[in-house]
Structure 1
Amino acid sequence: MKVMIALDESKGSFYALNWVLTNIIKPRTAIVAASQEGGEEKEDLVYLVHVNLPFQTYVYPAGPVIYTATSVFESVKQAQEKISAGIFARAMRCCEDMNVKSEAMSLRGEPKEVLCQAVEENHVDLLVVGSRGLGMLKRAFLGSVSDYCAHHAHCPVLIVKPPKDLAHQEEEGLQKNA
C-alpha cells in the first residue's frame, strides 16, 4: 500500500502521522515474517509530503532600472527548505522507529492542489491529512486543504482529527502568534 501523509509544522499533522503508523501501516518486520510463512505481502510505503507556499516575487521600479528582490527570494526559499528539512527529520525518525519504509517529498505550490496532483502522479492508495478543526466561518475564508482533497483527490482520503486537548493547545498557540 502507498500512503501519502501531508505534513506541516502543526501538532495535528504529526498526530495524523503517528496514528497512521500505529493503526494502518504494517512494519517491515511483520511483512518479513509473513513472507517467511509462505505469504507474499508487499511492503507498505509512506510518502511524507510537505508543501511550501509559492513565494511571490515583487519587482520594484528604480528609475530606468527594474530591481527584483532576488536576495529576499533566496532567503525565503532557504528558510522554507530549512523548515521542510526539520519536518522531514522528525517524520522520518517516527517512521524509522516504527520500522516503516518512507520517502520525503518537498513540493511547492498551493497545498490542496499540489497534494491532489502528487496523489495522481505517484498512484497513491490513501491520502492522509490532519484536521486543525477550523470553525465553519474560518474554513469559508481560509479554505480547507482536507475538504478540498476529500472532494478532488483520486484516492480515498483519511482526515485524522486530533484529540480535543491537542487541538485546543494548537488553537491557543495560533492566537498567541497572531
Structure 2
Amino acid sequence: MRVMVAIDESDSSFYALTWALDHLFINAPSTVEGGEGEVGMVTVVYVTQPLQHCVYPAGTGGATYYASSSVIESVKKAQEESSAALLSRALQICKDRRIKAETLILIGDPKDKICQATEQMHVDLLVVGSRGLGMVKRAFLGSVSDYCAHHASCPVVIVKPPRGSASSKK
C-alpha cells in the first residue's frame, strides 16, 4: 500500500505523521531477513508557497515595488532551509520507527498540489492533520484537510490532535 502524509510547520501535522506510522505500519512485513529491519514505506510531502517577486504597499499611491535579486535569493535560501529542516525532522521520526520514507517538496497551493500528487503517484491513502479550525475560521481561511477529503483521488484520513493539546484548542 502506498501511503502519503502531508506535513507543514504545525504540531498537528507531525502528530498525524506519528499516528500514521504507529497505526498503519504495525503489521507490515519486515524487509530484512530475521524480522529485524525496516517495514513499509511512506511518502512525506511538504508544499511551500511560491515566491512573490513584488510587494504592494498598503498605503495610497498604488506603487509596486519589486524585490532585488539578492533579496529573492535570500528568501529562496531561507525557504529551502526551512523545508529541509521540516523534512529532516519527519525523516528522523520515520527512522526511529524503522520505516522507510521518501520526501517530496512541491511549490504552489497546498490543497491543489497535494491532491495532484496523490493522483500522479497513485497513492492508496493520504494522511493529513487537522488544525481544529472552527466553522468560521475554516470558511475564511479554508481547510487543506477538508479540501483533500473532497478532491483527492484516494481515501483520506484526517487525524485530529489529541484532546487537550495546544493545537486542538486553536
TM-score of the two chains, using structure 2 as the length reference: 0.84
Residue 54 of structure 1: which of 50, 55, 79 is its match?
50
Q: How many residues align?
A: 159
* Aligned-partner Cα distance in 1 for 2:166–2:156: 20
Residue 4 (1) aligns with residue 4 (2): yes
In the alignment, what sits opposite 1:121? 120
Secondary structure at the counterpart of residue 165 of structure 2: helix
Counterparts of 1:6-85 in structure 2 under 5 Å?
6-26=6-26, 30-32=29-31, 44-58=40-54, 68-85=67-84
CA drift of 1:97 comes to 1.0
Q: Which has the higher helix share?
A: 1
Q: In the aligned structure 2, how far is the partner of 1:156 from the partner of 1:135?
A: 23
* Distance in 2 separating the partners of 1:125 and 1:138: 30
**Structure 1 SS opposite 2:164:** helix
Q: CA RMSD in A?
A: 2.5
Per the TM alignment, residue 154 of structure 1 is displaced from its structure 2 partner at its CA by 0.2
d(CA) in 2 for partners of 1:118, 1:50: 11
Residue equivalent to 1:102? 101
Q: d(CA) in 2 for partners of 1:67 and 1:108?
A: 21
CA contact (8 A) 1:10 1:170 kept: no
- Residue 30 of structure 2 aligns to a residue in which SS? helix
CA shift, 1:23, in A, is 0.5
Q: 1:159 to 1:169 in 2, by over 3 A?
A: closer
Question: Which runs of 5 or more residues in structure 1 are unaligned?
Answer: 38-42, 61-65, 172-178
Work out whether 1:149 is the aligned partner of 2:148.
yes
Alpha carbons of structure 1 residues 8 and 168: separation in structure 2 relative to 1, 3 Å: closer
Paired AA for residue 10 in structure 2: S
